[in-house]
Structure 1
Amino acid sequence: MDVPLGWQLAKLLTSVGVVLGLSVVAERLSPRMAGLLSGYPLGTAIALFFMGLEISPDFAAESAVHTLAGFSATLALGGGYLLCARRDGLRGVLAGSAGGLIAWLAASLLLTQVEFTRLTGTLTTLVAILIFLRLYRRVPDITARPRGGFSWPALVLRAALAAGIVFLITGLAHVVPTAWAGVMAAFPVTMYPFLVILHLTHGAAPVATVIKHYPAGLGSLLCYALCVSLTYERFGLLIGTLAGFVVATAWLLAWTRGQAWWRARRRAMP
């Protein structure tokens, strides 16, 4: 199927915009918040929406079922990156990227061999979230200090990585089964370019903080993928996407408020 130029431009602008926005959050607020927002359905929403637009809403809805389990592969990518990205600078980025992508591919190969349902896909990722939260509990929180705005090389790299990943995922979706399309839709389209930029500009320590808090934000992604798997086919892409974001936002707000209440309660304990 030939994809209209307008759709291609929309993918490009949307991909670049969300990566830049996430980078602003990390520099202006904190890597912890950026880690939580990395689990917000930005890249996954772009991938599933354009799969539905370019192929069919039914294909995107079926793929979203496999996306639920595919988030486990995304967690594996973060773990592989964290293990291998011990150095600052380009060498650390290359080592972390190699480790992360190998871990993602290995996990994806396993996940695509299983016929997941909405329930089993969700449970698979929930178990993975609990495992990785426990593994990351000793990773320290490091704040990235602002460095006075964005440089042109950083802007170009962010744009190239985000757009390239989105175009690759949505392009391959035309020729691969729904299982692979769904797992690819779970690839961290916004988080991975953000990790690379943060690593190059601030070093490995704040990157570890983002990865540490990423599993906690995955609940909103699970809510989003579950919602669109139920709504795309019945209500269409626009209403399904809007409903997905409403559900994901509600979960993220509930999670952050629950965390704030728990921290306040622990401080108040004698």
Structure 2
Amino acid sequence: MLDVPLSWQLIKVVVSVSMVLGLGSIAVRVSPRVAGLLAGYPLGTALALFFIGLEISPLFAAQSAVHTLAGFTATMALGAGYWLCGRRPGFVGALMGTTGALIAWFAVSLMLAQFDFTRVTGTLFTLCAIVVFSWVFRRIPDSVATTRQAFSWRALCIRALLATLIIFAITSLAHWVPPAWAGTLAAFPITMLPFLLILHVSQGPAPTATVIKHYPMGLGSLLCYALCVSYTYEHWGLALGTLAGFGLATLWLAGWMQGQRWLARRHLTGSQAT
């Protein structure tokens, strides 16, 4: 059994659950579109890479982050698999969506494992995949989640279990696999997949598909984060490297959302002029 301090394990639980609940709250209180963009924020990936670095070494985590850059393509494939298979409402639809999602993720991950990516090639590969998946998802209609009653303790426990199992599985497997696979595992949507399941069961497949639709365009911040920590973890350490990664990711996401607002205002002005 891996000799990991109990305090680190408890931190994994608390942070993972907080992230899943936060995304769920945003989807209901704001919109699935915003939640989809924030699902691309380096939440689960940051947690995975940080604990990989803490439990193994910062150098191993930095090397893994290089392969995480390309691994985000498998995450988008996961979203596509969920969307294609999870068309039915309720638990059955969520189960079918999860099955399709995991099959798609594993198939693409196996393909990615055949290549020795660098920072440049991994980034370019995922940027091309973002264009492709955004085009594939373009016809998914935007749907607004309906407000529901407060979550029950049962729902809270399910969310806690899902998030905890995924992060523990990834950080545990990282001890036994090379950096290439550890990096691909770190790209797994630790917070997004449980969030999709919860949203699907409680709100239906339409808002879930909306989150998937906008997920690729939120991946820019994840790419910025992984690229940053691949450089900083070894030289700056985990704490400063993580802060630098979040800073760069936040700047990208803020710029992206500001650009979206500018385009929306310009479109509105053009429509009024005509």
Q: Give the shorter-chain TM-score range.
A: over 0.9
**Could you say which residue in structure 1 is the equivalent of 2:125?**
124
Provide the identity percentage: 64
Listed as ranges, the matches of 1:201-216 within 5 Å are 201-216=202-217
The residue identity in structure 1 corresponding to 2:37 is L
Q: Per-residue deviation at 1:157? A: 1.1
Deviations 1:197-220 (A, max 9, x none): 000000000000000000010000
CA–CA distance in 2 between the matches of 1:48 and 1:111? Answer: 19
| Whole-angstrom distance in 2 between the partners of 1:7 and 1:204 | 35
> What's the counterpart of residue 141 of structure 2?
140
Structure 2 stretches of 5 or more lacking a match?
none
TM-score, normalising length: structure 1: 0.99
Separation in 2 of the partners of 1:8 and 1:152?
Answer: 22
Determine the C-alpha separation between the residues in 1 that align with 2:98 and 2:60: 30
Residue 37 of structure 2: aligned partner = 36
Aligned length: 270
Deviations 1:83-134 (A, max 9, x none): 0001000110111001000000000001111100000000010000000111
Q: Does 1:86 align with 2:87?
A: yes
Distance in 1 between the 2:74 and 2:175 partners? 21
Aligned amino acid, residue 40 of structure 1: Y
Amino acid at match of 1:176: V
Runs of 4+ in structure 1 over 2 Å off: none
Q: CA RMSD in A?
A: 0.7
Using the TM superposition, give the Cα deviation of residue 148 of structure 1 relative to its aligned residue in structure 2, in angstroms: 2.2
Aligned pairs for 1:162-241 (under 5 A) are 162-241=163-242
Residues of 1 paired with 2:266 and 2:152: CA distance? Answer: 42
Structure 1 spans left out of the alignment, 5+ residues = none
Deviation at 1:140, TM superposition (A): 0.4
- 1:248 maps to a residue whose letter is A
Deviation of the 1:58 alpha carbon: 0.2
- Partners of 1:26 and 1:154 in 2: how far apart? 16
The residue matched to 2:138 in structure 1 has which SS?
A: coil
Q: Which residue matches 2:72?
A: 71
Structure 1 residue aligned with 2:63 = 62
Q: How far is the alpha carbon of 1:152 from its aligned partner?
A: 1.6
- The amino acid across from 2:16 in the alignment is S
Q: How big is each residue's C-alpha offset from its partner over 1:31-79, in whole Å with a ceiling of 9 and x where there is no partner?
A: 0000000000000000000000000000000000000000000000000
Partner of 1:250: 251
Q: C-alpha deviations, 1:188-244, integer Å up to 9, x for none?
A: 000000000000000000000000000010000000000000000000000000000
Q: 2:249 is matched by which residue type in structure 1?
A: A
SS in 2 for 1:144: coil
